[in-house]
Structures are given as C-alpha cells and as structure tokens.
C-alpha cells in the first residue's frame, strides 16, 4: 500500500531545477505531492500541474528579491528550499579566469545566501522551514583544479552553520547534503579521469544514486527533523 | 502614493505584533519616537529583524511596493534610518517615492 505523499500541501523551491540534480529533485518533490517552484537561468524543462518555473539567476540579488515578493503574494509561504544551483570550472588556479571564479562565487555561494535569506522571511511567519544546501565532497577532499569550486562549497557549509543559528528561533532548520559524484551534466563539466580517481578513493567507491540523495533530503526536510540543524551529511563515507 | 499615516500604521502594527509576544509588563511603546535600533533600542536584535521583515512584507503584500529596507544606502547613512519609528517612516517614504 502506498503511503501518503511526503510533501502534500507544501511549497518547495528548488534552484537549478532545469537539469541535473535540480531536475531530479524537482521530479521527486512532485512525485511526493509538493507544489514545486523551480528556478534556473534557463527556461523550464518540466511540465506539470504543480510545477511553476522562474527564469532567475540566483546570483542576482534583485531578481531573487522580486521572485520571493511574488511568491509571498501567490503562495504566502514556502516550506522547503533546496539550494542546488551551482556551476563548476576545474582548472589549475594559475589558469583560472576571473570571470569563471566570480561566477562560481556568485552562483554557488551568494546565490544560496540570497535565496535562503528571502525564503526565511516567508518561512518565519509559519514558524516552519527547511533549507537544504547541496554541498560537495570537494569541500573536504580539496582536489587539485577545484580551488574556487571547493572553496565556495566550504563557504556554503559555514553559511549553513551561521544561518542555522540565526533562523533557529523561527523554526527554520538549515543543513547541507555534501554530494559525491552523481551522473549528471555537472559531472560532464569536470575531467572524467579526475572524477574516476576521486570516486575510486572513496570509502564506498561508487557514484551516488538519486535514492542516496532523496534519503538525506527527505530526512532533512521532514517535520520530524526539527531538532536537526547546522549539520552536513557527506555521502559515500567522506568526512570533514 | 503611500502616505505618512499609512506607513506609521504599518510600523505600529509590526510593533503591536511584537508586543503580542511579550509579557504585559514588558510592552514596547508604540509611538513615532520609539527607538528601534542602537543603544537605546526598545527592541532586541531578533525583534528588530522581525519588525523590518514585517514592514517589508506589508509594503509588498498590501501596497505592491517591493522595497528593501536593508539596502546599501540605508547601511551607508551617517544617521541610521532605523533609529526611531519616525526616521524609518521617513526613509520608507523617501524610497517609495523613487519606485
């Protein structure tokens, strides 16, 4: 017998929802009954009665503010936010173009901050919120070529810890799921032999699956996880 | 155009919401002179955050004004626009006029 959908009646925001993990998560939340608000720089790739898409760059503070002002009018609140939007450039630091470095800081770090800040303003009224940041094993494995990307993910973990304190009084939890490699187009942006080398060195040497990710996301998002905040869960046996 | 009275009402309502969470003997004075921010503030830091976000939300939802009260301009002013209800109201009117 199928159990009741986990996210029935909830509004879930997923950034970077057009493709890759964001798309996978948006589909998961839809399957579990949520009304999903997807954000990405590109147009929608999902058509569903409970899905709405907004072509917004999370690194654009004004655009993020405007979107959440709109969501306040249309939905009143949001219950869950997954800060997934990210870009990656893997290249030796001496060769890293400033534009790529700045884009990673803006999207991977500031984007998560802007979205969390605006979401928390809506969540606090309902005294309930779940903010889930998608981190990376890169933050702790610190591989060559990932200088800025790894740093943005490490910064995101620190951001998680501070926001968890600031938002705790409003019933909002903030946690990070630090991924190992998942078979998505993000992986295609990195040298495959490097990825294979990193995966081979993991305590559980395989790629992550969507179910590995849903397991932790559902745990963080659960109403029963009200006493779980400021945490980072690494997949695959990676640890800080 | 939003008026002085309307903005005062929005801020007063936000202060009353804070008072609803406080003990009867520990109520914040609801007046134009109420100190919101700084050493003499009648609000603690979390209440100040709630006040600003409540006022922003009301301006957005009730009056269609998408205004950020915590922008660079507010932070850079030698006289904080958050000092009292009156300075906050004047600041809101000033930026509302520009939108």
User: A27 or A194: whose pLDDT is higher?
Assistant: A27
pLDDT at A192: 80
β-strand A11-15 against A35-40: which pairing, if any?
parallel
Distance CA B36, CA B86 (A): 10
3-state SS string over chain B? CCCHHHHHHHHHHHHHHHHHCCCHHHCCCCCCCCECCCCCCCCCHHHHHHHHHHHHHHHHHHHCCCCCCCCHHHHHCCCCCCCEHHHHHHHHHHHHHHC
pLDDT at A31: 97
Helical spans, DSSP H, in chain A: 20-31, 61-74, 98-104, 111-126, 138-141, 147-167, 185-188, 192-200, 210-221
- Greatest Cα pair distance in chain B: 41
The residue count of chain A comes to: 240
Distance CA A43, CA A198 (A): 33
pLDDT at B17: 95
Q: What are the φ/ψ torsions at residue B43 (nearest 5 degrees)?
A: -110, 150
Average pLDDT, chain A: 94
The mean per-residue pLDDT over the stretch A229-233 comes to: 97
The b-or-e profile of B42-75 (16+ CB within 10 A means b, else e) is bbeeebbbbbbbbbbbbbbeeeebbbbbeeeebe
Note the pLDDT tens digit of each residue in A151-206. Answer: 999 999 999 999 999 999 999 999 999 999 887 766 776 778 878 888 898 999 99
Q: From A62, which residue of chain B is nearest by alpha-carbon distance?
A: B68
Q: What is the dihedral of CA A14, A18, A19, A22, to 10 degrees?
A: 0
Could you say which of A65, A121, A124 has the minimum Cβ distance to residue B66? A65
Best CA proximity match to A222, nearest among A10, A66, A26, A1: A10
Is the Cβ of A124 closer than 8 Å to some Cβ of chain B? yes
The mean per-residue pLDDT over the stretch A97-114 comes to: 97
Distance CA A154, CA A173 (A): 19
* A·B CB contacts under 8 A: 17
Q: Which chain A positions have a beta carbon within 8 Å of B61's beta carbon? A: 72-73
Q: How confident is the model at residue A127 (pLDDT cuts 50, 70, 90)?
A: very high
Of the residues A70, A121, A125, A168, the best mutation for testing chain B's interface (the one with the most B CB atoms within 10 Å of its CB) is A121
Distances (CA, A) of B14 to A54, A62, B24, B50, B56: 31, 24, 17, 8, 10
CB contact (8 A) between residue A73 and residue B50: no
DSSP reduced 3-state for A174: strand
Q: How confident is the model at residue A4 (pLDDT cuts 50, 70, 90)?
A: confident
> Taking an 8 Å Cβ-Cβ cutoff, which residues of chain B contact chain A?
46, 50, 53, 56-57, 60-61, 66, 68
CB A6 within 8 A of CB A76: no
The b-or-e profile of B6-24 (16+ CB within 10 A means b, else e) is bbbebbbebbeebbeeeee
Q: Which chain A positions have a beta carbon within 8 Å of B53's beta carbon? A: 121, 124
Note the pLDDT tens digit of each residue in B9-45. Answer: 999 999 999 999 999 999 999 999 999 999 899 999 9
The b-or-e profile of A162-197 (16+ CB within 10 A means b, else e) is ebbebbeebebbbbbbbbbbbebebeeebeeeebee
* Percentage of the residues of chain A whose pLDDT score is greater than 70: 98
Q: How confident is the model at residue A101 (pLDDT cuts 50, 70, 90)?
A: very high
Q: Is the pLDDT of residue B94 over 70?
A: yes
In chain B, where the domains are located: 4-98
Residue A176, strand partner residues: A133, A232
Identify the CATH assignment for B4-98 out of 1.10.3210.10, 2.40.30.10, 1.10.1200.10, 3.40.630.10. Answer: 1.10.1200.10
CB contact (8 A) between residue A72 and residue B60: yes
Is the Cβ of A121 closer than 8 Å to some Cβ of chain B? yes
pLDDT at A186: 66
The mean per-residue pLDDT over the stretch A65-84 comes to: 96
CB contact (8 A) between residue B66 and residue A169: no
The mean per-residue pLDDT over the stretch A57-71 comes to: 96
CB A10 within 8 A of CB A35: yes
Distance CA A88, CA A72 (A): 31
Could you say which of A69, A125, A169 has the minimum Cβ distance to residue B60? A69
Distance from CA of A69 to the nearest CA of B (A): 7
Q: Which chain A positions have a beta carbon within 8 Å of B57's beta carbon? A: 72, 121, 125
Average pLDDT, chain B: 94
CB atoms within 10 A of CB A123: 24
β-strand A80-83 against A35-40: which pairing, if any?
unpaired
Of the residues B21, B46, B56, B60, the best mutation for testing chain A's interface (the one with the most A CB atoms within 10 Å of its CB) is B60
pLDDT at A134: 97
CB atoms within 10 A of CB A149: 27
Distance from CA of A74 to the nearest CA of B (A): 10
Q: Which chain A positions have a beta carbon within 8 Å of B58's beta carbon? A: none
CB contact (8 A) between residue A69 and residue B46: no
Distance CA B96, CA B63 (A): 10
pLDDT at B5: 96
For each of the domains in chain A, give its residue range(s) and CATH number, in order of start. Answer: 11-234 (3.40.50.720)
Could you say which of B46, B50, B61 has the minimum Cβ distance to residue A72? B61
Q: Is the pLDDT of residue A142 over 80?
A: yes
């Amino acid at each position: 017998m199928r159990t009741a959908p986990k996210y029935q009646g909830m509004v879930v925001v997923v950034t970077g929802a057009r493709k890759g993990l964001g798309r996978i998560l948006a589909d998961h939340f839809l399957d579990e009954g949520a009304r999903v608000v997807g954000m990405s720089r590109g147009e929608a790739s999902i058509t569903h009665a409970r899905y709405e898409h907004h072509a917004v760059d999370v690194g654009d503070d004004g655009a993020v503010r405007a979107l959440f002002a709109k969501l306040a009018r249309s939905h009143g609140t949001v219950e869950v936010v997954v800060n997934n939007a990210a870009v990656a450039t893997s290249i030796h630091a001496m060769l890293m173009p400033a534009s790529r470095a700045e884009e990673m800081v803006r999207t991977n770090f500031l984007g998560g901050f802007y979205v969390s800040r605006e979401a928390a303003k809506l969540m606090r009224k309902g005294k309930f919120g779940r903010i889930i940041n998608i981190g990376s094993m890169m933050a702790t494995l610190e591989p060559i070529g990932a200088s800025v990307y790894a740093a943005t993910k490490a910064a995101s973990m620190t951001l998680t810890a501070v926001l968890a304190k600031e938002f705790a009084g409003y019933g909002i939890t903030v946690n990070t799921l630090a991924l190992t490699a998942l078979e998505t187009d993000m992986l295609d942006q990195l040298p495959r032999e490097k990825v294979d080398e990193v995966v081979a060195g993991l305590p559980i040497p395989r790629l992550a699956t969507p179910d590995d990710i849903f397991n932790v996301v559902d745990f963080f998002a659960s109403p029963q996880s009200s006493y779980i905040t400021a945490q980072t869960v690494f997949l695959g046996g990676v640890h800080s | 155009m939003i008026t002085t009275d309307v903005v005062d009402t929005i801020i007063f309502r936000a202060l009353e919401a804070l008072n609803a969470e406080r003990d009867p003997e520990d109520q914040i004075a609801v007046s134009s002179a109420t100190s919101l921010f700084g050493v003499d503030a009648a609000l603690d830091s979390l209440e100040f955050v709630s006040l600003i976000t409540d006022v922003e939300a009301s301006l957005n939802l009730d009056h269609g004004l998408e205004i950020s009260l915590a922008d660079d301009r507010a932070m850079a002013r030698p006289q904080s626009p958050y000092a009292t209800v009156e300075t906050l109201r004047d600041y809101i009117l000033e930026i509302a006029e520009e939108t």
